[in-house]
Amino acid sequence: GQSLEQPSEVTAVEGAIVQINCTYQTSGFYGLSWYQQHDGGAPTFLSYNALDGLEETGRFSSFLSRSDSYGYLLLQELQMKDSASYFCAVRGTFMDTGRRALTFGSGTRLQVQP
């Protein structure tokens, strides 16, 4: 099966940098994804890492270390609109069909304060 661990809550101030960590256990690793969800909204895709290292997309970066089964999402120059929940996710393998679907962590609620 698959399991993911991430902190339940993080608080930071506007303009700061925050890192949201994720550790995972999965059979057959295919990459680590990150999704953002604002209160009352739908999750939206942020980033994907299949290989070790840092991927940068604007103010957001995502890092992966496959040997440590660990990744993080880095948010720079925090803005109030970044207040949301952030989910890491991995593609596990379901034994009954052999197909792979996304399994999500329980989410990290980020609160950005003025």
Partner 1 sequence: NAGVTQTPKFRVLKTGQSMTLLCAQDMNHEYMYWYRQDPGMGLRLIHYSVGEGTTAKGEVPDGYNVSRLKKQNFLLGLESAAPSQTSVYFCASSYGTGENSPLHFGNGTRLTVT
Interface with partner 1 (CB under 8 A): 8, 30-31, 33, 35, 41-45, 48, 50, 87, 91, 94, 96-97, 99-107
Q: Residue 3 or residue 77: which is nearer to partner 1 going by CB?
A: 3
In whole angstroms, what is the distance from residue 55 CA to residue 63 CA?
6
Other C-beta atoms lying within 10 Å of the C-beta of residue 22: 26
Q: What percent of the residues of the chain are helix, what percent strand, and what percent coil, each to the nearest 5?
A: 5, 60, 40
Closest approach of partner 1 to the CB of residue 77, in Å: 24
Closest approach of partner 1 to the CB of residue 45, in Å: 4
Q: Residue 17 or residue 101: which is nearer to partner 1 going by CB?
A: 101
Q: Residue 98 or residue 114: which is nearer to partner 1 going by CB?
A: 98
Report how far Cα 22 is from the mean position of its chain's Cα atoms. 7
Closest approach of partner 1 to the CB of residue 47, in Å: 9
Q: Exposed, middle or buried: residue 45 (CB in 10 Å: 0-12, 13-18, 19+)?
A: exposed
